[in-house]
Amino acid sequence: MSNNSWYEYSIRSNDKFGRILFYLSNFLSIFGGCVLIIIVIINVFSISGRVLFSSPLLGDFELVEMGCAIAIFSFLPFCHLKNGNVIVDFFSSKFPLYIRQLLDILSNFVFLLVASFFTYRMIYGVIDMIKYNEQTMLLKLPVWIAFIPGIFSFFLLTLVCFHILLKEIINMDLNKIK
């Protein structure tokens, strides 16, 4: 088994719902990487135009701003699915296993609430952006365009949080409680 296939095996779920979440999260993170590549190309053209022709791309910072938001949102579900979020376990590493499992369950529940709240607020944000026709200053692009991938990403993150929370509750080792 190669390193890559071991990595996929370690985060891939055995159930159908978990596999669907894995593939959607993986696709979304690849999409985010492609958006970052496009941002780099925009920056190269803008800087080259500024240096060579004293004329940068108009509104390049608006495109970079929207692209960075889309890319960051796109990485969140896969990062959480592979347990890639930063944790501080300096004190909890000395706790018994069942207490660490309870802390993991609690933190995943809180993250589920936060992801759900962000999904809810992003939906209302896009409704307001469409209602008031908010646009970027130079390119006059509708701002709500960047919200659509963000809503999908936060919704997928909510599903990932729910899935991981259920898996942690089911896999909790109740025999280790003393």
Q: Per the confidence metrics, is the pTM higher than 0.85? A: yes
- The pLDDT of residue 163 is 95
Task: Tell me the pLDDT tens digit for each residue of 2-53.
Answer: 444 434 444 567 889 999 999 999 999 999 999 999 999 999 999 999 999 9
* pLDDT mean over 109-123: 97
Strand partners, 75: none
- Cβ contacts of residue 24 below 8 Å, gap of 6+? 77, 156
CB atoms within 10 A of CB 107: 14
Over residues 84-91, the mean pLDDT reads 78
Q: What is the pLDDT of residue 96?
A: 87
- CA separation for the pair 17, 156 (Å, rounded): 12
Q: Could you tell me which residue, 177 or 165, shows the higher pLDDT?
A: 165
